[in-house]
Amino acid sequence: MTGVTERWNAVRAEVASEAERRGRNPDDITIVVVTKFHPVSVIEELLDAGATDFGESRHQDAAPKTEALAGRELTWHFVGQVQSNKARAIARYTTFIHSLDRDSVVEALRTADSQVGGFIEVNLTDDPGRGGVNDADEMLRLAELIASTDTIDLRGIMAVAPQHDDAGRAFERIATLSEALRQAHPNATDISAGMSADWRDALAHGATHLRIGTSITGNRPVQG
Ligand SMILES: *Cc1c(COP(=O)(O)O)cnc(C)c1O
């Protein structure tokens, strides 16, 4: 039976070889291990195995985990939907928020006590009700608002590819939007895209941050 450490080692090695195959430096790719619904012990095992970046998607789960691991050296990424009234609390423990998708969250973060790195989430589905900005205009408008804060350092864009769609086309769209963002905000070069099922495609289209859960952690426990 393989465990978390073996799977982490396997995924890390495969990401490095895929990066090299694409002419990318593996050091430029961040693997964010998404540990939502898993206990702190899984994160501790991954830390011992050399993982450094972890992602959580719900504030009520993330807050106690980050507190339990406060003495360890690691970087937190918040990847789930942010409620405006929780945004400042989230900013206290996370280094990055991948899911900035509307004005109210940015306005709440404007008065945060600590700086965060931010990604604008783009919605690649046809359903405008899903999280994320819906087009380049909305993205650039939100980017301007982010740039007007002292508390958010705009890093780039984030997306979840539609599951039953052609992932390649979705990632091409991310790459195009990323280019448009970079023209207006030259430092916002990062692309957070790719999960367990589609990270190879995302990497091929320029992803810098792969958010990988189940391939490393195993199946998520049933959530309570
Ligand atoms: C859960 C989650 C992931 C990881 O998904 P896997 O399919 O388990 O790799 C990545 N990104 C976000 C936003 C998530 O919520």
pLDDT tens digits, one per residue of 23-69:
999 999 999 999 999 999 999 999 999 999 999 999 999 999 999 99
Q: How far is the CA of 36 from the centre of ligand 1 (A)?
A: 8
pLDDT at 162: 87
Per residue in 85-113, pLDDT (tens digit) is 999 999 999 999 999 999 999 999 999 99
pLDDT at 3: 94
- Residue span of the structural domain in which 102 resides: 3-217
The reply to whether ligand 1 has any atom less than 6 angstroms from the CB of 207 is no
Per residue in 125-179, pLDDT (tens digit) is 888 888 899 999 999 999 999 999 999 999 999 999 987 767 788 999 999 999 9
Q: How many CB atoms lie within 10 A of CB 20?
A: 11
Average pLDDT (186-210) is: 97
Task: Tell whether the model's pLDDT for residue 191 goes beyond 70.
Answer: yes
Q: Which atom of ligand 1 is nearest to the CA of 158?
A: 13
Nearest CA to ligand 1 atom 6: 213
User: How much of the chain exceeds pLDDT 90, in percent?
Assistant: 89
Per residue in 1-20, pLDDT (tens digit) is 469 999 999 999 999 999 99
Q: Are 42 and 65 in contact (CB under 8 A)?
A: no
The reply to whether ligand 1 has any atom less than 6 angstroms from the CB of 34 is yes
Q: For ligand 1, pick from 57, 58, 174, 209 the residue to mutate: most ligand atoms within 8 Å of CB.
A: 57
Residue 102: inside a domain: yes
Residue 224: inside a domain: no
pLDDT confidence tier of residue 211, bands split at 50, 70 and 90: very high
The reply to whether ligand 1 has any atom less than 6 angstroms from the CB of 189 is no
Q: Are 46 and 4 in contact (CB under 8 A)?
A: yes
In this structure, what are the phi and psi dihedrals at residue 74, rounded to the nearest 5 degrees?
-160, 165
In this structure, what are the phi and psi dihedrals at residue 170, rounded to the nearest 5 degrees?
-60, -45
Residue 62: inside a domain: yes
Residue 223: inside a domain: no
Q: How many CB atoms lie within 10 A of CB 116?
A: 22
Report if pTM > 0.95: yes
Quote the CA–CA distance of 107 and 123 in Å, as a whole number: 20
Residue 184: inside a domain: yes
Nearest CA to ligand 1 atom 13: 79
Residue 222: inside a domain: no
Average pLDDT (203-219) is: 96
**CATH code of the domain containing 38:** 3.20.20.10
Considering the chain, what is the average pLDDT of its residues? 95
The reply to whether ligand 1 has any atom less than 6 angstroms from the CB of 35 is no
Residue 122: inside a domain: yes
Q: Which residue in 139, 147, 210 sits closest to 176, CA to CA?
A: 139
- The count of domains in the chain is 1
Average pLDDT (70-82) is: 97
Residue 141: inside a domain: yes
Q: Which atom of ligand 1 is nearest to the CA of 212?
A: 9
Task: Tell whether the model's pLDDT for residue 224 goes beyond 70.
Answer: no
